[in-house]
Structure 1
Amino acid sequence: MTRSPATPLPPPKERRRLREATALTQTQLAARVNVTPATVRAWESGRTTPRGRKREAYARLLKTLAQDEKQAQEQEQEQAQEQEPDRTPAAGPAQALDRAPAPASASASEAETASAPGDPTPLTPAQAFDALYEFSAPALVRQAFLLTGRRELARESVERAFQTAWEYWPEVARDRDPVGWVRAAAYEFALSPWQRFRPRHRQPEPSPADPGDRTLLNTLLRLPPRHRRTLVLYDGVGLDLPETAAETEASTPAAANRLLHAREAVAGRLPALADPQVLHQRLTELASAERLWSAKPPGVRKGGERRVRFRTRAAIAFTVALIGTTALTVRTAPTHYEPSVSPGVAVRGVPPRVAPGSLSQEERELRQKLRDQLQDGPERLAPSLE
């Protein structure tokens, strides 16, 4: 089950390169797209992907940045040619290597050539997904094991990441680094703090049989998750520092500091691993020594489709329940407000009624004066001359 293709976007690394090439900070770019800087960091690391109007606005902005960069390069070339008019650059091997590969369906002639007899048949989405899974899943499971120290969690993290990739396959298939896309999703799931609350992950797993491997794994697990992830990406996977910083959603100096602190912690307990080359070799041996397995690609695809169907049905059931509850409330609710009648309560402590006492002399004179006056009030006054 796949979704309709959305507005194409460059890969996460290219997004960050375009922003840095135009001297824009993440805060400035976020203000132009009307999002937060944290959202821009997530987009550039590949952890999340913009959707809807945000995706269209982000794609237009990146296209504008690419055009600005191209114009700046053309201006630099023109200035260089004006300074050296007698020299004409020839198309050599270096320039050919700098050219980007053409897309798969760039023109109608290429499409006809691809469909001609004798040429290989293009892969279907399922076949391309299976090829990517078989190529990268075993290595990703070993990397996730170094992050978590749990074999079952490592396998589950990679499978969940590939299920998410199959759900967004049109976007992942166009990415220049689909393995990095899946790796970022697998690491996020493996290092999620919610994993500690799962009953199946509360029980400890058997440690490696070799004492050296056991000590190295325990040392890795004592590192903070961000330092551990940085160490695995740089010294284990072999990414460079900017790529490691982008995938961990950090700046390059912050990623460098995390790497140095992680190496210092490992070397403090295992002095023999102070050399980065030796550390890389030991990490590879530790991950390869464990018996880790992964499911077959068709099972992963079907599992992802079942999850999508389950979420869709759950959303439909929740919507139907909400509509039914609202209709029942409207049907049974009163049309006007009727105040409730309070029950009668006996009042105690009221003094008994007593007869009035005798009137004083002034009160009797006042009563008599009132009785002597007319009932209609005093007589009407008439003006008179004195």
Structure 2
Amino acid sequence: MTRSPATPLPPPKARRRLRETAALTQTQLADRVGVTPATVRAWESGRTTPRGRKREAYAKLLMTLAEEETVQAPEPESKLEPEAKPQPQPEPQPEAKPQPQPQPVAAPEPVALTPAQAFDALYAFSAPALVRQTFLLTGRREQARESVERAFQAAWEHWPEVARDRDPVGWVRATAYEYALSPWQRLRPRHRHPEPPPADPGDRTLLNTLLRLPPRHRRTLVLYDGVGLDLPETAAETEASTPATANRLLRAREAVAGRLPALADPEVLHRRLAELASNERLRAAEPPTVRRGGERRARLRTRAAIAFTVALIGTTALTVRTAPTHYEPPVSPGQAVRGVPQRVAPGALSDEELELRQKLRDQVQDGPQRLSPRLE
């Protein structure tokens, strides 16, 4: 069985032009297609391509906008005009001097952003939404904010790589999700003190239902039904195969629908997730603060690594200096042997012993005279 070819779509620039010609915002177009404004923004920039039912709905809407643009466009003038009456010929005018033609003004070249300016623009554009999405994964406001800041600090450390990435927001989002769902978060003292739940009972029930899901299922549900990614992109970001991602998504939807039957419809679930994230007062730090925090943390790690290396070198040098150069066997403890008296320390010498010792010292101790016999 062969698959039917995908519905053709106009280029990304043409998609944006059709939307702007129809005086529609990205939010309005996203509501008509059933996706998020971020997804529409990604489609119009060419970062992602719609697939499946969303592609059919998007292509149908663009075709409708193109037809409306054609109807509203003024009809071209007919080439067949009525026969015109002969007009009197104008009197010849004296030949005018040629006027100098104005030189075309060159368009100003686009100003290249510095790395810090590009980072600040990316942070201001995506940080608030990423904090709200991370809150759906953790249920903790401060942990969500910290996870996004750590992800952006990691992006600043690897900025050349992130700047050339096809989807920088996706790079930061994956890093933030990994940090937020890390098992080490449970060992922090902050995790032992629960935060106040949402004020609305419906939001509280939905958040508790999300937190009861396994981390992988929860992340898949937030990416697909919350962020609006398609199945292949969700599988790529979660580092899983497409069938495994689809299985996780179905299980997560079944668990949510089991506790909240009103959210069995994916469109309703998407809207409720967006409302739950938007109802919370979540804040994000300023871009310069995040950049300086990342730089300060990098300097501390560098200094700690240098200090550890110096301590290791000093310890190795001290060990080499004080280590013995040859083997010294251990001395076994003394034991008493039967029949052998114990050694006793010598005491004071008697007068006779002192006289004998003096006599021996006065005699010749070496030389041939000691060897020759002497008659007494």
Structure 2 length as normaliser, TM-score?
Answer: 0.61
How far residue 221 of structure 1 moved from its aligned partner, in angstroms, is 0.2
Matched, 1:290 2:255: no
Partner Cα distance (2:267, 2:241) in 1? 24
Is there any run of 5+ residues in structure 1 with no aligned partner, and where? 1-115, 353-386
Correspondence 1:239 to 2:229: yes
What is the alpha-carbon distance in structure 1 between the residues aligned to residue 331 and residue 283 of structure 2?
72
Per-residue deviation, residues 126-182 of structure 1 (Å, max 9, x unmatched): 000000000000000001000000000000000000000000000100111000000
Question: In 2, distance between residues paired with 1:177 and 1:118?
Answer: 28
Q: How many residues align?
A: 236
Q: Which residue number in structure 2 is paired with residue 186 of structure 1?
A: 176
Q: Tell me if 1:210 matches 2:197.
A: no
Counterparts of 2:111 and 2:179, CA distance in 1: 36
**1:267 paired to 2:257:** yes
The residue type equivalent to 2:125 in the other structure is: F
From 105, 121, 127, give the equivalent of 1:131.
121
Mapped partners of 2:171, 2:336: distance in 1 = 77
Distance 2:124 2:335 in 1: 81
Alignment partner, residue 324 of structure 1: 314
1:344 has 2:334 as partner: yes
Say yes or no: does 1:147 pair with 2:137. yes
Change (3 A) 1:344 1:117: farther
| Partners of 1:294 and 1:262 in 2: CA distance | 29
Give the C-alpha shift of residue 118 in structure 1: 2.9
2:281 pairs with 1:254: no
The match for 1:312 is 302
Task: Quote the residue 1:302 is aligned against.
Answer: 292
Q: Looking at both structures, which has the greater relative contact order when contacts are Cα pairs under 8 Å and sequence separation is at least 6? A: 1
Matched with 1:276 is: 266
Q: Distance in 2 between matches of 1:120 and 1:241?
A: 37
| Partners of 1:345 and 1:146 in 2: CA distance | 77
| Alpha-carbon shift at residue 346 of structure 1 (Å) | 4.0
The unaligned stretches of length 5 or more in structure 2 are: 1-105, 341-376
| Among 150, 154, 158, the residue aligned to 1:164 | 154
CA distance in 2, matches of 1:194, 1:346: 63
Give 1:203 deviation, angstroms.
0.7
> In structure 2, what residue type is equivalent to 1:181?
W
Q: How many Å separate the matches in 2 of 1:139 and 1:191?
A: 18
Cα deviation, 1:319-374, whole Å, max 9, x if unaligned, reads 00000000000000011111120221347xx799xxxxxxxxxxxxxxxxxxxxxx
SS of match in other structure, 1:243: helix
CA RMSD of the aligned region, Å?
1.7
Q: Percent of aligned pairs with the same residue?
A: 86
* Letter matched to residue 259 of structure 2: R
Give the drift of 1:119: 3.0
Give the secondary-structure state (helix, strand or coil) at the position aligned to 1:250.
coil
Query: In 2, Cα distance between the equivalents of 1:224 and 1:346?
Result: 74
TM-score (norm 1): 0.60
Q: Give, in whole Å, the separation in 1 of the partners of 2:336 and 2:235.
A: 78
Larger radius of gyration: 2
Shift of 1:219: 0.2
Q: Distance in 2 between matches of 1:136 and 1:343?
A: 77
Q: Distance in 2 between matches of 1:261 and 1:236?
A: 16
Deviation at 1:242, TM superposition (A): 0.5
